Amino acid sequence: MVKYDTVLIRFGELSTKGKNRKDFIQRLFLNIKRTLHAYSALTYRKTHDRIYITLNGEDEGGIREKLKTVFGISSFSFTAKIPSDIETISQTCLAIAQESDKHTFKMITKRHDKSFPIKSDEINRTVAGNILRNTDLKVDVHDPELPIRVEVHKNETYITYEKIPGAGGFPTGINGKVLLMLSGGIDSPVAAYEIMKRGIEVEAVHYASPPYTSENARKKVLDLAAIVSAYQGAMKVHVLNFTDIQLAIYKTAGDPYAVTLMRRMMFRLAQRIAEQNKCLAIATGESVGQVASQTLESIACINSVISIPVLRPLICFDKLEIINLAEKIGTYETSILPFEDCCTIFDPKNPVTKPTIKKSEFFEDKFDWENLLDVCVANEECIMVYPQEDTEDFL
């Protein structure tokens, strides 16, 4: 049996050069090691354009699933690592063909080291000839069932028949840090994923309104944070008690402007937490037109209270696209649990869809919200969450 005991990892968007490229690879290398930290027998090696992991008997299936979550990997393969000589290459490829139940194949050889004396075309021809003579497989160059990939380096050669797509994007953390407003809904966890994919580390802020929101609602948000934290390793969540602010808004402004004012307060708080934690922008799961507070008029009126940039990765996504992504990243089932977060519980009947800054300020002048925000930030609770199955390893 051919042993596929070396994982060969190809990088993603490597248009970056020089020092950026070095940082990219180093960060990816650390992120991969952290993601696979439970597999202690693995050994790692990195070069300027590949990362290699030797399995040393560790569980292939688990590693395969984990690697699919690491941003910055364009694809990876479980390969047979053999010495770079044509006899061994040919024999190994033949063994792969013989062990397979497929009917057609194609040889795809790349000489990484051009000093290897036999050119790629010739390797392809020699190996294919050997397979054709000794098996019933036929060549299909357009749509082969068994593409056999050979990558020849100076001393060793990697052979595989599968190329597993990676998560793409940039290694998380390479592009700075953002504070995401995380609710218990469907959208914001997906926004977290999209931001992480661009190489940005995500820290979260959640506004809770106990006792109007339950312990279950809070747990749901932390569970969601734990699920998406798998894509970056861990996540800091700032939980703010929003009850007094919310009650003051309802007392002062009543129904139509309540959501607008609430969201203006949320953004002000987010800016403060972001600045305290060196986050260069804040982020939300907003999408144009989805609810009253997400019309362009609302977004403009709410955004006007802060100066920090706001990233809205889902701004033009359809709800269905967002749901599909939520299912893919594993947050959907948790997001649809029926526990109220602070917006739904105070949901007014007739929220204004075209709020104005002037009218918002008119209401805000009526109460001492600055003081309420100070108290809210001073009493923040800061919680570190970890990918669920990893919790014990980190404690």
> Residues in the site for ligand ATP, rule: CB under 6 A?
181-183, 185-188, 205-207, 284-286, 290-291, 293-294, 341-343
Supply 342's token pair: 């602070």
Tokens of 293: 């507070």
Q: In the bound complex, what is the minimum distance in angstroms from residue 215's beta carbon to ligand ATP?
A: 15
Query: Closer CB to Mg ion, residue 84 or residue 183?
Result: 183
Q: Cβ closer to ligand ATP: 290 or 324?
A: 290
Shortest separation between residue 383's beta carbon and ligand ATP, angstroms: 14
Nearer to ligand ATP, 151 or 187 (CB): 187
Least distance in angstroms from the C-beta of 290 to Mg ion = 10
- The interface region with Mg ion, picked from 102-110, 177-185, 231-239, 352-360 by CB under 5 A, is 177-185
Q: Is 387 in the site for Mg ion (CB under 5 A)?
A: no
Length of the chain: 395
Q: Which residue is nearest to ligand ATP (CB)?
A: 185
Specify the pairing of strand 310-311 against strand 281-283.
Answer: parallel
**Smallest separation, CB 184 to Mg ion (Å):** 7
Min CB(70)–ligand ATP separation in Å: 25
Q: Which helix (H) or strand (E) holds 147?
A: strand 146-152
Find the residue with minimal CB distance to Mg ion.
185
Nearest CB to ligand ATP, comparing residues 36 and 301: 301
C-alpha pair distances (Å), 30 with each of 96, 173, 340:
32, 11, 38
**Sole window of 17-25, 73-81, 144-152, 181-189 interacting with Mg ion (rule: CB under 5 A):** 181-189
293's contact among Mg ion, ligand ATP, none, with CB below 5 to 8 A by partner kind, is ligand ATP
Burial (CB count <10 Å: 0-12, 13-18, 19+), residue 282 = buried
Torsion sign (Cα): 17, 18, 23, 29: positive
CB 188 to ligand ATP: min, Å: 3
Beta strands in 183-340, from DSSP E residues, in sequence order: 201-208, 235-241, 281-283, 310-311
Stretch that binds Mg ion, among 25-33, 54-62, 182-190, 192-200 (CB under 5 A): 182-190
Calpha distance 16→20 (Å, rounded): 6
Binding partner of 284, given Mg ion, ligand ATP, none, CB within 5-8 angstroms per partner class: ligand ATP
172 binds, among ligand ATP, Mg ion, none (CB under 5 to 8 A by kind): none
Q: Specify the stretch interacting with Mg ion by CB under 5 A; choose among 33-41, 144-152, 180-188, 217-225.
A: 180-188
Q: Which is nearer to ligand ATP, 80 or 342 (CB)?
A: 342
Query: Which residues are CB-neighbours of 133 under 8 A, at least 6 positions away?
Result: none
Give the end-to-end CA distance of the chain in Å, rounded to a whole number: 40
Closer to ligand ATP by CB, 130 or 241: give it: 241
Compute the CA torsion angle 50, 70, 312, 235 (nearest 10 deg): -130
List the beta bridge partners of residue 165. Answer: 75
Nearer CB in complex with ligand ATP: 111/206: 206
| Cα atoms in the Cβ-side hemisphere of radius 13 Å centred on 197 | 16
Are 213 and 342 in contact, with CB atoms under 8 Å apart?
Answer: yes
Among 6, 31, 109, 183, binds Mg ion (CB under 5 A): 183
Which C-beta is closer to Mg ion: that of 185 or that of 189?
185
220 within 8 A of 339, measured Cβ to Cβ: yes
> Judged by CB under 5 A, which of 185, 189, 233, 351 binds Mg ion?
185
| Least distance (Å) between residue 142 CB and Mg ion | 48
Spatial distance between the Cα atoms of 59 and 62, rounded to a whole number of angstroms: 6
Smaller CB separation from ligand ATP, 165 or 289: 289
| CB atoms inside a 10 Å sphere around CB 82 | 19
Structure tokens of 341?
């977060």
| Minimum CB–partner distance for residue 306 and Mg ion (Å) | 19
Question: Whole-angstrom Cα distance, residue 112 to residue 108?
Answer: 13
Taking the complex as a whole, the smallest distance from the CB of residue 35 to Mg ion amounts, in Å, to 30
Structure tokens at 94: 């033949």
Residues at the site binding Mg ion, with contacts judged by CB under 5 A: 183, 185
